[in-house]
């Protein structure tokens, strides 16, 4: 193992492309100068296709969680009634943010490892006519599921006047996202996942309908006030000091997306998901989620005859390979592999091969190469 070689395959932060690292190393410029205005003018229209929107995408310097809090504090106020679809730790986080702001929060609890169903959302809304907003997570990182956001948004529109507010932190840039066509009112993502940047930026886009609510919302806010970001962005500026080095990197990330083509980006993520899942099937190690609910950006594995933490330690020690563990009640019961952003099928083969050795090291007798062969076969079949 090389001491300075770290193979990072957790579901965020994700590896950063070398060209993006070089872009972020540019000399600092004045954040109120013309150079920054020009940079934002270049970035603004190119972010829109990633979100699938004609709306502006506002850039807030902060983590993905700051984006979730921004979505809450701008759209609802104390006493409002909301529904939060909880399919894992990050749906739970959305609910906790709402509760912190004294929002009347209904939780729709879904078994971890399963996706929410539009039918359940519809049934809840039919019996709760006062819901102002429905909060949902697109990719639930803690379990590796992808919620059917398009279908959920449709039933919300058909059943109520509630806003549809979506956490897309772990998948926007890695899966097809069509905010306008699907009727999403507020969509949030972060920089450190499929967008291939360090943590530190959150991105938020808002529908016309949601802007009406935001403009009339009496909830106090200052740094997270989306009206400030909207008004500043019209002048190619930000209301507060931006993360300039990250903006340099973002410009290059958008170059990479455009060179590969967004549909090809999405297809690559889908291929890596299939390779990873088929590999563990070949190794006879259970997956947490069904194929229908699986996310293209992260895979959760739930072993039955060995400890997930033992495997994580083994591959870390032997290869400096980092894979993630479980969260909350799944801690110690699952491990998770991130295959998003700056990740390719070749990386998946490396991950699976390393894990096979790690399994042997902890006493799990597997047919070395079986998982790798299965992943290779998926690659060959999908590449025809």
Bridge partner list, 145: 140, 294
Res 377: pLDDT: 98
Bridge pairing between strands 57-61 and 201-206: antiparallel
Q: Is 212 exposed, middle or buried (0-12, 13-18, 19+ CB in 10 A)?
A: exposed
In the chain, what are the domain boundaries?
A: 7-14+261-382, 18-258
Res 384: pLDDT: 78
Along the 384 residues of the chain, how does pLDDT read in single tens digits? Answer: 788 899 999 999 999 999 999 999 999 999 999 999 999 999 999 999 999 999 999 999 999 999 999 999 999 999 999 999 999 999 999 999 999 999 999 999 999 999 999 999 999 999 999 999 999 999 999 999 999 999 999 999 999 999 999 999 999 999 999 999 999 999 999 999 999 999 999 999 999 999 999 999 999 999 999 999 999 999 999 999 999 999 999 999 999 999 999 999 999 999 999 999 999 999 999 999 999 999 999 999 999 999 999 999 999 999 999 999 999 999 999 999 999 999 999 999 999 999 999 999 999 999 999 999 999 999 999 987
Res 176: pLDDT: 98
| Interior angle at CA 135, CA 132 and CA 141, nearest 5 | 175
Res 182: pLDDT: 98
Res 3: pLDDT: 82
What are the backbone angles phi and psi of residue 57, rounded to the nearest 5°? -110, 115
Q: Tell me how far CA of residue 290 lies from CA of 218, 277, 295, 334, in angstroms.
A: 43, 10, 10, 15
* Residues 322 and 354 sit within 8 Å (Cβ to Cβ): no
Quote the pTM value. Answer: 0.96
The CATH class of 18-258 is alpha beta
- Could you give the CA distance from residue 283 to residue 280 in angstroms, rounded to a whole number? 5
* Residues 340 and 194 sit within 8 Å (Cβ to Cβ): yes
* Residues 126 and 160 sit within 8 Å (Cβ to Cβ): no
Bridge pairing between strands 81-86 and 298-301: unpaired
Tokens of 2: 């090389």
Q: Angle between the 208-216 and 226-233 helix axes, to the nearest 10 degrees?
A: 120
Nearest residue to 68 via CA among 45, 46, 97:
97
Which segments of the chain are extended strands (E)? Answer: 7-8, 57-61, 81-86, 104-109, 131-137, 139-140, 145-146, 163-167, 186-190, 201-206, 298-301, 321-322, 324-325, 335-338
Q: What is the pLDDT of residues 77-129, one digit of tens each?
A: 999 999 999 999 999 999 999 999 999 999 999 999 999 999 999 999 999 99
- Could you give the CA distance from residue 383 to residue 298 in angstroms, rounded to a whole number? 21
- Could you give the CA distance from residue 235 to residue 233 in angstroms, rounded to a whole number? 5
Res 383: pLDDT: 85
DSSP codes, 215-256: HH-----STT-HHHHHHHHTTT--SS---HHHHHHHHHHHHH
Q: Any known ligand binding at 336?
A: yes
Q: What is the pLDDT of residues 300-359, one digit of tens each?
A: 999 999 999 999 999 999 999 999 999 999 999 999 999 999 999 999 999 999 999 999
Cα Rg for the chain, rounded, in angstroms?
21
The CATH class of 7-14+261-382 is alpha beta
Bridge pairing between strands 81-86 and 104-109: parallel
- Could you give the CA distance from residue 43 to residue 58 in angstroms, rounded to a whole number? 11
The contacts of residue 181 (CB under 8 Å, 6+ apart) are: 52
């Amino acid at each position: 193992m090389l001491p300075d070689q770290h193979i990072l395959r957790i579901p965020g932060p994700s590896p950063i492309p070398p060209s993006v690292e070089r872009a972020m190393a540019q000399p600092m410029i004045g954040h109120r100068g013309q150079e920054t205005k020009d940079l934002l003018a270049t970035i603004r229209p190119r972010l829109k296709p990633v979100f699938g929107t004609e709306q502006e995408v506002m850039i807030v310097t902060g983590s993905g969680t700051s984006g979730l809090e921004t979505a809450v504090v701008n759209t609802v106020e104390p006493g409002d009634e909301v529904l939060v679809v909880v399919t894992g730790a990050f749906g739970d986080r959305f609910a906790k943010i709402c509760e912190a702001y004294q929002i009347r929060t209904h939780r729709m609890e879904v078994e971890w490892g399963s996706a929410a169903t539009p039918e359940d959302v519809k049934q809840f809304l039919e019996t709760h006519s006062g819901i102002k907003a429905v909060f949902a997570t697109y990719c639930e990182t803690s379990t590796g599921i992808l919620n059917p956001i398009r279908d959920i948004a449709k039933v919300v529109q058909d059943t109520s006047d509630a806003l549809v507010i979506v956490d897309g932190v772990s998948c926007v840039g890695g899966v097809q996202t069509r905010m306008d066509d699907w009727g999403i009112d507020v969509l949030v993502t972060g920089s450190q996942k499929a967008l291939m940047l360090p943590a530190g930026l959150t991105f938020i886009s808002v529908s016309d309908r949601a802007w009406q609510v935001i403009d009339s919302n009496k909830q106090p806010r200052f740094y997270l006030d989306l009206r400030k970001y909207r008004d500043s962005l019209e002048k190619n500026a930000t209301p507060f000091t931006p993360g300039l080095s990250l903006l340099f990197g973002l410009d290059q990330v958008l170059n990479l997306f455009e060179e590969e083509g967004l549909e090809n980006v999405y297809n690559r993520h889908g291929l890596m998901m299939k390779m990873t899942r088929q590999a563990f099937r070949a190794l006879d190690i259970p997956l947490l989620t069904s194929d229908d609910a699986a996310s293209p950006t992260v895979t959760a594995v739930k072993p039955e005859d060995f400890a997930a933490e033992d495997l994580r330690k083994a591959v870390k020690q032997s290869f400096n390979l980092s894979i993630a563990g479980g969260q909350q009640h799944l801690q110690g019961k699952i491990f998770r592999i991130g295959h998003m952003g700056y990740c390719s099928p070749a990386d998946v083969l490396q991950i699976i091969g390393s894990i096979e050795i790690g399994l042997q090291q902890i006493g799990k007798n597997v047919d070395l190469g079986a998982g790798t062969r299965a992943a290779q076969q998926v690659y060959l079949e999908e590449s025809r």
